[in-house]
Structure 1
């Protein structure tokens, strides 16, 4: 796991699955007690909670794409990623947000911790606006 090319290949494959919203393939890379912390939300710990978080995100979006700015291997088991994430809502809005993600992997190379540092308020505002517009149409 200390080889930088391993992290690069691993990151590319992992985020291809994240961007394709392939929940089970993403979960396959998490330790059973692995966690995701997204923004200021409470941690989702364990496969069931991580699955729920990913499925909720998938239900709100038609797609996402990570545009890498920087990648730093901090230790053999810790990676820091800087990206601009392009979120595409079900209503067709594209919301681009800067993020920094810290990923920790255990001895088995499975994710033990994935912490997404993001201000998701613009994404939630776009989703809320779409929900209000849809209610007005059906209401």
Structure 2
């Protein structure tokens, strides 16, 4: 691939930042009008919207780790297809492992134009909702 000869290295570096929940470093890799689609959520278009989506995820998670199954370079324009089992740890300590396929499209400059994360987010959001429901604040007061 002419514009990104080390697509595997780029992918590993990108996901090192994702797993560290380094929002600024992840955003720096997006084109100004890039988009992020996470599960069945509406697309977040542009860096401001992507930051909001990633900040929400970072606020809910204590950790994230990708266990790679397969990685493919799809074309010579910088499109990568990734298959993984994603390990999420919520702030409440719930651990979930979800199968995922991600499509990353990049401009010739290397900037991400589209990041589409295809997974069933319902187990993650159900765990987050259950944790919120059992939090002391949800019961109408602070823990004493």
Q: Scaled by the length of structure 1, what TM-score is found?
A: 0.95
User: How far 1:13 sits from its partner (Å)?
Assistant: 0.4
Measured in 1, the distance between the counterparts of 2:122 and 2:79 equals 27
Q: By percentage of residues, which structure has more strand?
A: 1
- Residue pair 2:3, 2:110 contacting (<8 A) in 1 also: no
Counterparts of residues 118-133 of structure 1 (less than 5 Å): 118-133=119-134
Aligned twin of 2:6: 6
User: How far 1:136 sits from its partner (Å)?
Assistant: 3.5
Measured in 2, the distance between the counterparts of 1:118 and 1:75 equals 23
Superposition RMSD in Å: 1.6
Counterparts of residues 32-43 of structure 1 (less than 5 Å): 32-43=32-43
Aligned residues: 139
Q: By percentage of residues, which structure has more helix?
A: 1
Measured in 1, the distance between the counterparts of 2:25 and 2:64 equals 16
- Residue pair 1:62, 1:89 contacting (<8 A) in 2 also: yes
1:23-46 C-alpha deviation (Å, 9 max, x unpaired) = 000001000000001111110000
